[in-house]
Structure 1
Amino acid sequence: MTESPPRIVVGYDGSSGAAAALTWAAENAAPRSDVHVVLVGTAMDPVVGHYRDEMDRAVQGWREAAEEQLQALGLPEAIVEVRPGPVVPELLRAAERADLMVVGSTGHGLTAGTLTGSVSQHVARHAPCPVVVVRPRHSKVVDRIVVGVDQSAASARALRFACERARRTGEGVTAIHGYFSVLAHVLTFDGAESEVADRQLAAAEELVKDLCRECAAQFPDVEIVPEAIPVRAGPVLVDASRAASLVVVGSRGRDAFSEMLLGSVSQHVLTHAQCPVAIVR
């Protein structure tokens, strides 16, 4: 039986953020990927209950812009679909049949049907498939993918996602375990602070090396560099994003103590990263 090609769904609203998402999807799609562009417009006015002519005109303009961009990107056969209804539920429904969803970090925000930043983050949190939120890149001269890791299942999937992409692009992968413990900052007597911090760093380094060794066996052609950094996960991943083509994080982490890849961490990265962000669940 022939395997179906990967299906990439792009949320589109005619904004510059949506255009960036469509470009990213076209340029980063795996071979033979099926790119499907979804536009969501609120056809019924929620206040007076009639069809909004201005929304119909806007959606038609978005559709034409998407088709023109697809032509320029060499994807003239990609499907452009218009769905009336509330934007978040419709995008999440579209994601049910997707291998990857791509959205811009912000939309133009003119109406309830547009992909505002809050909408793209909501989709990133709740879609059943991996989601890439396309944020502007600080540096285009980079050849590494950064992935946040801990001991969670979502973290392992995030690392595999990063390695699968790196195998296609030829990039390296930097696996970062950011951590913070109050113990290393309150035990100050008789050099205990330094001793606790040293032990914690050694344990964190061993953890991330073990995770990388496991993944390296599956991806022997991908260079994976482990890093353990005694800084909270969110800020350390944002800092690393300045020199990355993509930051990959899991949707949830292992526990509150490690604080790695919890919802708060992924939210921080989505809001502040200086390159596109992939959320893997």
Structure 2
Amino acid sequence: MTESPSRIVVGYDGSSGADAALTWAAQEAANGSDAPAELRVVLVGTAMDPVLSGYRHVMDRAVEDWRAGLSERLAALGRADATVEVRHGTVVPELLAAAEKASLLVVGSAGHGLATGTWTGSVSQHLARHAACPVVVVRPRHSTVVDRIVVGVDDSPASAKALRFACERARRTGEEVSAVHGYFSALAHVLTFDGAESEVADRRRAAAEQLVKDLCRECAAEFPDVEIEPEAIPVRAGQVLVDASRAASLVVVGSRGRDAFSEMLLGSVSQHVLGHAQCPVAIVR
């Protein structure tokens, strides 16, 4: 088995979402390794600002309350050795700085949302766009009994990295990997006059199936002990992955695929999955 990530950073704000992220990160740190990864929990309070001095006092008290409760929580997770760090500033820049040398950054899908400097659902979007390491956004799982990692694939470099990330994790956890390529074209619904599928649609389907098979074959050579299942489905990629997330422990996507014309740093598929998946989501750059 490969070693688990050397350092996992968790953003924490005392919310139920942050607690779910902490639990996931503690489990991930121990996966497949005799020596658990370093776990660092980061709490972010407000920056110093005379105008907001009253608010800062309230926020600092909340941060101390979160910190006080962490010791017991970390002990219950078997990670009393975790580092707890309090930083002051705006959440996204501070977490990005804390995760500069991390192997993984883990956050909840939403938190308290207490004005600037604290958590909102958009925090995960910003982190996924800019973090130097993979980001895992821990969303509630629809099913807790499945052992399957779903990874979205296309012909982009980010997709290849996402598939490799999924296989590396599967090798540690013993899960299977479903490499899913969602494709959609209006041509797939065009029929000829005799009711047969058009030749163009047939070629599109064959190309999609070949693409995902080739990607899986390459990864299978590197990860022979991981079961990788190729799937090509004629539905928009974002919807395919959200549907697949109902029976997955994790969905992995690249930060930007071939159709990411609407976002410079985070593709539209990744955004859709982050907002709607029914299990944790990993964004790989």
Compute the TM-score of the two structures, normalised by the length of structure 2. 0.91
1:14-163 paired onto structure 2 within 5 Å: 14-29=14-29, 30=31, 31=33, 32-45=36-49, 47-48=51-52, 52-163=56-167
Q: How far apart are 1:234 and its partner, in Å?
A: 0.2
* Contact 2:177-2:229 within 8 A present in 1 as well: yes
* Contact 1:183-1:193 within 8 A present in 2 as well: no
* Contact 2:108-2:138 within 8 A present in 1 as well: yes
Distance 1:212 1:90, change over 3 A: same
Distance 1:15 1:159, change over 3 A: same
Distance 1:250 1:183, change over 3 A: same
* Aligned position for 2:252: 248
Flag structure 1 segments of 5+ consecutive residues without an equivalent.
Answer: none
| Distance (whole Å) between structure 1 residues aligned to residue 50 and residue 226 of structure 2 | 51
For the aligned residue pairs, the C-alpha RMSD in angstroms reads 2.2
Deviations 1:128-167 (A, max 9, x none): 1000000000000101100000111111110010001111
* Contact 2:129-2:266 within 8 A present in 1 as well: no
* Aligned position for 1:266: 270
Flag structure 2 segments of 5+ consecutive residues without an equivalent.
Answer: none
Q: How far apart are 1:63 and its partner, in Å?
A: 0.8
Compute the TM-score of the two structures, normalised by the length of structure 1. 0.92
| Distance (whole Å) between structure 2 residues aligned to residue 203 and residue 108 of structure 1 | 46
| Distance (whole Å) between structure 2 residues aligned to residue 192 and residue 184 of structure 1 | 11
AA at the equivalent of 2:9: V
Distance 1:4 1:162, change over 3 A: closer
Helix, strand or coil for the counterpart of 1:74? coil
Q: How far apart are 1:44 and its partner, in Å?
A: 2.6
| Distance (whole Å) between structure 2 residues aligned to residue 5 and residue 149 of structure 1 | 23
1:131-210 paired onto structure 2 within 5 Å: 131-186=135-190, 188-191=192-195, 193-210=197-214
Q: How far apart are 1:51 and its partner, in Å?
A: 7.1
| Distance (whole Å) between structure 2 residues aligned to residue 256 and residue 90 of structure 1 | 27
| Distance (whole Å) between structure 1 residues aligned to residue 117 and residue 231 of structure 2 | 41
| Distance (whole Å) between structure 1 residues aligned to residue 114 and residue 12 of structure 2 | 14
* Contact 2:47-2:90 within 8 A present in 1 as well: no
Distance 1:4 1:161, change over 3 A: closer
| Distance (whole Å) between structure 1 residues aligned to residue 147 and residue 160 of structure 2 | 22
Deviations 1:4-51 (A, max 9, x none): 961000000010000000000001224320000000010434734567
Which of 263, 266, 281 is the aligned partner of 1:277?
Answer: 281
Helix, strand or coil for the counterpart of 1:279? strand
Distance 1:190 1:256, change over 3 A: farther
Identity across matched positions, percent: 80
* Aligned position for 1:230: 234
